[in-house]
Every structure is written in structure tokens, then in C-alpha cells.
């Protein structure tokens, strides 16, 4: 009854009590409304994942069929300042976690930017950046595969660079549709390109790992004009259409880079498995000076099925988390809406992320900078395709303040490295996903008992 009454529940209780015609009905209404109010409060379970390394930039993926299986990976800094990586897996919905070794990363000079994705059969893929002494000296993308749900990893497979140079910010998407390219693993990252003997711009590179093939196809890139592009999450839409959101942040004119006055949020699509891309669509002209666009698609059976959500933080003059939606496979986008006001006039929202659960509920999380040294993590949901949002909740027990001598490391070549200064917000992104049971799972860098960045996992259910 209270689910039907909703917000008017307590008004009706008061009305019944006032008229005093049915005391029993009044008592029932009070009990029902109390239980309904309790049920609407989200249940939050949170813990640090086991590891003694300093950790930033965690990512998470959930098995699309089994709500108990999730995998997490994070950058991990060794005591000598070397950039390494940590991986965890859970088989009980996040109650307990175990560390899983990642073969092949121990001899790399640098490992960074982990990204995870499940396919429809429970296999997991882990992409990351790597720099090695042998072979190409630039930064490459490597992919590990797990055939047992993240309990073990195979040695890395290199992503061929094609005609480009070093990569940055690798992301993954897997075609779980029944279309022509079903099972294809897409690897997307920003990639430097040469033009007339100089580094012209960063384009978006797209590589493909086809089903049943041992090697990955070389990265093909697209670049529309001489603009530096920063990729976001790649999405596979119905029938295998590939959607790539990105920021256009600067233009290369001659030998100089000029920042755009209004940095653009763009999307482009491929209908042939990532080999060719159509001219891009403009989403908005208020991209921030940093970060990446984050995206999610509603694959539920709700009335909002097929809705695409694109999330980012506004410009430096208006740093608020926002979302725009498309119901036309990315061709047209609605005017962006702000998710929630900041907690104070001086705080700045940052690093927004989102996911859609099995019921069509959009969950959005963002970090909010309280000052130059501290941040909190907040979370809100929308059940009407981002028309309205519930009041946000704060997921951090206290502000995360990373400035500490414990984050000061000395590298193997005796150079100082301050993790807190390099990663003031705990990384350039954090992880958020929805499990098969409808629960939301976040991972972000928090300050652990040892006083350093540690990976905190938070599960949110109603």
C-alpha cells in the first residue's frame, strides 16, 4: 500500500488519525510507512581490499550472469616507486576478496591504467598500459585473459600499434549482442600519431580481438581534423553498433597546440566492427580540462531500455557533475542536466561515473573536492532516465586527504616521487558497475589503516 502512496503516505496517516474513524487502519498505515521508509534506505557494505601496496585508479567488472563474481584491478606502487598492478576476485558478491597474481608485469618498467570487462561466457579481460625495455620503447597496451572468472590470468598479449605511436587510457568493450561481430573484444585508447615528421595529435585508436583468433588486430585510428582527442568508455549497442565517446581538447596548428575555448564532448559510431567510423556527433561544448567522458547503456527490460547515458564534469568555471542521454543510438543528445548541487560553495565535483542495473536504475557516483587536499565520494540514483535524482549519499566515512609523508617514495634511480601529488583525487578515474542482482559496486582510492591510498570496495543495495 505504501508503495502506491509514496510520498503522501504520512499525510494520509495524519488525516486518518485526525478523523479518528479507524484506529486499526491508522496503526497499519504507520507500520507500513515505517517499513517502506526503511526499505528505501540503501544498504551500504564497504571494506578495503587486501594489499600493502599504495593503490590508485581501481577498476571493476561484474559477471553479467553471476552476481557473486566480480573482479577488480588497480595500479599498485612498490616501495621503490615502480608502477605495478594488483588484481582481486570475489565469488561471494564482495564479502571476501583474494589477490590474484598477474603474470608478465613483473619485468615491465611501468604498468598502469587497468581496465576490466566480462564477456557473456564468464571470461574476463584486463587491459593496461606497459612500458618495457625490450622492443618498442613507447607505452603499449597489453591484454590478459582469464578463462576462470578472474581466478587466474594468462600472460599478456600485445596490442599492435598500427601506424600510431604510444597509447594512453585503454578501455575495453565486448560485443555481447547476437550481431555479426558477437564476441569481439574492442580495445580503445588515445594514441599519438605522426604527421610530416612530428607528433601531430592524439587520435582514438581502436583494436579488435576477434573470437577464436590468438592475436589482436592492429589499432586503426580515426581523427577528425587536427584535434587532440581523449577517449572515454566505449559501448556496444544493439546489433553490435560501436559507440565511442571522446573529448576534443585542443587543436594542432603548425607546430603549436592551442586549447579550444570550448572543449567539446563528441561521439562517433562504427557499423562494421570498428574498422570505419562515421562523422562525429556533437553532445556538448563544456568539457573539462582533464578527465574522460563516462558512458553507460540501459540493457534492462525497463521502459528506458536502450537509453545511452554520457557523464562528465563541467568546465573549470562550473565544475558540476552532469549527464546527457540519447534515445537515438547516439545521433541526438538531450541538454545535459546536473545531478546534484555541491555540498558547499567552494567544493568542486569531479570524476563522475555511472552504471545501469537490471531494473533500469541509473547509479551515478562522483568525487567532490572539498579543498586542494581532500575529497569525498557521493552516489545518487535515477529511476526515470536522469529526469530526476534521489538525494545523494556520501560513501566516504570521512574526507580522503592523501597528503602524507607515507606517499613520498624514492625511485630506483634515486628520484623523489609523491603519489599524493600525482594522484590528488586517487586517480584519473574509479570503478562503478552493476551486478546481475541489481546491486551497484564501486571501487575507489581511500586512506587505509596504514595511512596510504588503498582500494575500497562498496556495495549498494536497496
Q: Are residues 119 and 16 in the same domain?
A: no
Residues 24 and 97 in one domain: no
In a domain, 129, yes or no: yes
Q: In 142-173, which positions are buried (b, 16+ CB within 10 angstroms) versus exposed (e)?
A: bbbbbeebbeebeebbebebbebbbbbbbbbb
Residue 160 lies in a domain: yes
CA angle 335, 340, 344 (to 5 degrees): 130
Same domain, 205 and 277: yes
In a domain, 10, yes or no: yes
User: 27 pLDDT exceeds 50?
Assistant: no
Q: What is the pTM of this model?
A: 0.90
CATH of the domain at 116: 2.120.10.10
Q: Is the pLDDT of residue 50 over 90?
A: yes
How many domains in the chain? 2
Whether residue 71 lies inside any domain: the answer is: yes
Asked if 90 and 33 sit in the same domain, the reply is no
Query: Containing domain of residue 247, as a range?
Result: 42-282+402-461
Q: What is the 3-state secondary structure (H, E, C) of 363-385?
A: EEEEEEECCCCCEEEEEEEECCC
Q: How confident is the model at residue 2 (pLDDT cuts 50, 70, 90)?
A: very low
The reply to whether 149 falls in a domain is yes
- Asked whether residue 361 is domain-assigned, the answer is no
Q: Beta partners for 394?
A: 378
Strand partners, 309: 296, 325
198 and 86 in a single domain? The answer is yes
Task: Indicate whether 22 and 59 sit together in one domain.
Answer: no
97 domain-assigned: yes
Give the SS3 label for residue 186.
strand
Per-residue pLDDT reduced to its tens digit, 304-317: 999 999 999 988 78
Same domain for 171 and 25: no
* One domain for residues 73 and 149: yes
Average pLDDT over residues 435-451: 97
pLDDT at position 1: 34
Least confident of 28-37, 134-143, 188-197, 435-444: 28-37
At residue 288, φ and ψ (nearest 5 deg) are -80, 165
Q: What is the mean pLDDT of the chain?
A: 88
Closest C-alpha to 202, from 217, 212, 192, 210: 192
**22/85 same-domain check:** no
In a domain, 450, yes or no: yes
Residues 65 and 127 in one domain: yes
Same domain, 63 and 83: yes
87 and 20 together in one domain: no
Amino acid at each position: 500500500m505504501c508503495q502506491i502512496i509514496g510520498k503522501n503516505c504520512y499525510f494520509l496517516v495524519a488525516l486518518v488519525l485526525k478523523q479518528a474513524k479507524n484506529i486499526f487502519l491508522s496503526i497499519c498505515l504507520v507500520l507500513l510507512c515505517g517499513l517502506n521508509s526503511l526499505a528505501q534506505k540503501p544498504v551500504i557494505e564497504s571494506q578495503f581490499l587486501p594489499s600493502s601496496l599504495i593503490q590508485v585508479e581501481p577498476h571493476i567488472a561484474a559477471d553479467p550472469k553471476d552476481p557473486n563474481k566480480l573482479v577488480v584491478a588497480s595500479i599498485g606502487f612498490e616501495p621503490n616507486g615502480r608502477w605495478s598492478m594488483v588484481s582481486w576476485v570475489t565469488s561471494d558478491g564482495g564479502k571476501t576478496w583474494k589477490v590474484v597474481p598477474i603474470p608478465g608485469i613483473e619485468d615491465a618498467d611501468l604498468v598502469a591504467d587497468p581496465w576490466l570487462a566480462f564477456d557473456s561466457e564468464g571470461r574476463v579481460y584486463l587491459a593496461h598500459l606497459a612500458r618495457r625495455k625490450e622492443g618498442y620503447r613507447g607505452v603499449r597496451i597489453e591484454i590478459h585473459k582469464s578463462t576462470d572468472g578472474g581466478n587466474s590470468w594468462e600472460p599478456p598479449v600485445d596490442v599492435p600499434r598500427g601506424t600510431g605511436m604510444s597509447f594512453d587510457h585503454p578501455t575495453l568493450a565486448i560485443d555481447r549482442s547476437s550481431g555479426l561481430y558477437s564476441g569481439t573484444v574492442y580495445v580503445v585508447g588515445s594514441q599519438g600519431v605522426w604527421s610530416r615528421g612530428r607528433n601531430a595529435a592524439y587520435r582514438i585508436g581502436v583494436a579488435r580481438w576477434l573470437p577464436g583468433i590468438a592475436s589482436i588486430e592492429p589499432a586503426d585510428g580515426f581523427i577528425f581534423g587536427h584535434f587532440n582527442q581523449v577517449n572515454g568508455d566505449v559501448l556496444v549497442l544493439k546489433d553490435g553498433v560501436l559507440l565511442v565517446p571522446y573529448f576534443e581538447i585542443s587543436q594542432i596548428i603548425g607546430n603549436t597546440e592551442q586549447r579550444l575555448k570550448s572543449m567539446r564532448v563528441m561521439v562517433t559510431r562504427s557499423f562494421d566492427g570498428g574498422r570505419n567510423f562515421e562523422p562525429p556527433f556533437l553532445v556538448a561544448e563544456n568539457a573539462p580540462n582533464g578527465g574522460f567522458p563516462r558512458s553507460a547503456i540501459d540493457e534492462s527490460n525497463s521502459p528506458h531500455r536502450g537509453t545511452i547515458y554520457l557523464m562528465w564534469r563541467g568546465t573549470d568555471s562550473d565544475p558540476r557533475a552532469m549527464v546527457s542521454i540519447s534515445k537515438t543510438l547516439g545521433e541526438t543528445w538531450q541538454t545535459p542536466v546536473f545531478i546534484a548541487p555541491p555540498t558547499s560553495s567552494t567544493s568542486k565535483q569531479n570524476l563522475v561515473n555511472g552504471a545501469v542495473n537490471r531494473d533500469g536504475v541509473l547509479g551515478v557516483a562522483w568525487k567532490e573536492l572539498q579543498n586542494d587536499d581532500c575529497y569525498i565520494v557521493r552516489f545518487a540514483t535515477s529511476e526515470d532516465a536522469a529526469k530526476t535524482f534521489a538525494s545523494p549519499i556520501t560513501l566516504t566515512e570521512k574526507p580522503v586527504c592523501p597528503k602524507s609523508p607515507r606517499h613520498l617514495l624514492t625511485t630506483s634511480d634515486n628520484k623523489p616521487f609523491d603519489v599524493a601529488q600525482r594522484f590528488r583525487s586517487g586517480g584519473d578515474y574509479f570503478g562503478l558497475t552493476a551486478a546481475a542482482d541489481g546491486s551497484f559496486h564501486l571501487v575507489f582510492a581511500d586512506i587505509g589503516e596504514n595511512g596510504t591510498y588503498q582500494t575500497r570496495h562498496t556495495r549498494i543495495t536497496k
